[in-house]
Amino acid sequence: MKAKLISTILISLLIGLTVQAVTKLEKIKVKGQCDMCENRIETGVKSLDGVASAQWDKSTKSLKVSYDDQKTDMQKIQTSIAMAGHDTEMFSASESGYNKLPDCCQYKRDENRKKNNHHGATESVYKKVEKSGACCNNK
């Protein structure tokens, strides 16, 4: 009887562990310039289902993102950033998306960046992020 109870508990525990989502923490490079960029990048990423946190560091141009890998993935996260006008390791923002950034947010773009990304994103993430407010002068 005791062995049966232990077996049942172990099986329940194993099933519970396999169903649980895995929270991942990733760090990626994201081009940007100022506090407005930080707000735009973080807001766009945080709006995705499954993202627990996003923190962009303007000095290192790195985004730390924590997310549920059952609900989203790095492709969706980096797509949302590119749709907001910022280049990432995986995707480059479209010219029109980049050109919508305020002047002080327009960073130097890599001439070898990926062009004509066809990642199936919509502009909904970009539209959610307000472009108003004073911009930093820290190019």
The pTM of the full predicted model, rounded to 2 decimals, is 0.70
pLDDT of residue 119 exceeding 70, the answer is: no
63's CB contacts (< 8 A; 6+ apart) are 27, 28, 29, 30, 41, 42, 45, 54, 55, 56, 57, 81
User: How far is residue 99 from each of residues 1, 43, 47, 82, 94, measured CA to CA in Å?
Assistant: 70, 19, 22, 12, 8
pLDDT in tens, 24-57: 999 999 999 999 999 999 999 999 999 999 999 9
Tell me if 41 sits within 8 A of 85, measured CB to CB.
no
Distance CA 75, CA 124 (A): 16
Of 88, 80, 85, 78, nearest in space to 114 by CA:
88
Q: Which comes out higher in pLDDT, residue 104 or 127?
A: 104
pLDDT of residue 88 exceeding 60, the answer is: yes
Give residue 110's pLDDT. Answer: 82
